């Protein structure tokens, strides 16, 4: 696939082989506006169960190739078929790096919505994750597992982050809550999930 180098992309080499690409203005703002409205209005949003009987402090949606399923933190996320908008964005990110068969969307309704420190290190998860932000600016914070070195990136309307290399093995990331009054933010994480292609139909019906 043809790779289009970007003028505004920063590439940050992290300790222990993680690589983070950061392009604060990957999308022009009019295009980001169009995507935000389309995704907000067209996607199937739900609030899934989280830990300790609480619900996740955000809304989520899952799209991807037929049969792609992403399991994490006790949730099962079966992909709905790509929408034209999500496919268009996928191709733009793939032109920078990666190939993706799944997109997990997170919708942070206010500063009280968040995502706790975690790594996307499930065995079936590809090492390249493309993450596009739309709407309000929030902080994307990363922390090294051992040294606790921390870095913070403002992720705003049209910002692209690509996580790659060994980042998921050695670093965690989060979107902390904020007391500042902030509008809604939608984030799309494009991923490659192995082994979730549709299974051949089981003729005996045991599967």
Ligand X SMILES: O=C(O)CCC(=O)C(=O)O
Exactly one of 35, 104, 120, 132 binds Fe ion (CB under 5 A); that residue is 120
Instruction: Give me the DSSP letters along 109-171.
Output: -STT--EEEE----TTB-S-EEEEEEES-EEEEEEETTT--EEEEEE-TT-EEEEEETHHHHE
Q: Can you give the C-alpha Rg of the chain in angstroms? A: 17
Closest separation between CB of residue 91 and ligand X, Å? 20
Measured from the CB of residue 101, what is the shortest distance to ligand X in angstroms?
Answer: 15
- Selected binder of ligand X within 43, 82, 173, 190 (CB under 6 A): 173
End-to-end CA distance of the chain: 36
With respect to Fe ion, which residue has the nearer C-beta, 136 or 161? 161
Spatial contact of 105 and 186, defined as CB atoms under 8 Å apart: yes
Which one of 41-49, 63-71, 115-123, 191-199 is the stretch in contact with Fe ion (CB under 5 A)?
A: 115-123
Q: Interface residues for ligand X in 128-147 (CB under 6 A)?
A: 131, 133, 140
Task: Determine the Cα–Cα distance for residues 107 and 152; give it in Å rounded to an integer.
Answer: 20
Residue in 68, 86, 93, 115 binding ligand X, rule: CB under 6 A: 115
Neighbours of 65 (CB within 10 A): 16
* Binding of residue 23 to Fe ion (CB under 5 A): no
Measured CA to CA, the distance from residue 107 to residue 9 in angstroms comes to 25
Q: How far is CA 9 from the centre of its chain?
A: 18
The single residue among 187, 190, 193, 196 that binds ligand X, judged by CB under 6 A, is 187
**According to CB under 6 A, which one of 62, 106, 127, 168 is a site residue for ligand X?**
106
Taking CB under 6 A as the criterion, the residue among 77, 159, 164, 189 binding ligand X is 189
| Binding residues for Fe ion (CB under 5 A) | 120
Contact set with ligand X (CB under 6 A)? 104, 106, 115, 120, 131, 133, 140, 155, 173, 175, 187, 189
């Amino acid at each position: 696939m043809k790779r289009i180098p970007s003028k505004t992309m920063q590439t940050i080499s992290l300790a222990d082989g993680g690589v983070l690409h950061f392009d604060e203005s990957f999308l022009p703002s009019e295009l980001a506006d169009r995507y935000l409205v389309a995704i907000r209005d067209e996607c199937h949003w739900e609030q899934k169960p989280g830990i300790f009987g609480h619900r996740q402090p955000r809304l989520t949606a899952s799209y991807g190739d037929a049969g792609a399923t992403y399991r994490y933190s006790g949730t099962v996320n079966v992909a709905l078929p790509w929408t034209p908008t999500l496919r268009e964005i996928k191709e733009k990110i793939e032109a920078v790096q990666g190939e993706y068969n799944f997109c997990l969307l997170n919708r942070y309704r206010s500063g009280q919505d968040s995502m706790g420190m975690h790594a996307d290190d499930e065995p079936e998860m590809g090492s390249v994750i493309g993450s596009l932000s739309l709407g309000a600016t929030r902080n994307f914070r990363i922390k090294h597992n051992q040294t606790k070195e921390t870095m913070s990136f403002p992720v705003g309307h049209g910002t692209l982050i690509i996580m790659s290399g060994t980042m998921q093995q050695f670093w965690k990331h989060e979107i902390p809550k904020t007391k500042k009054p902030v509008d809604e933010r939608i984030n799309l994480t494009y991923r490659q999930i192995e082994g979730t292609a549709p299974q051949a139909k089981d003729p005996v019906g045991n599967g």
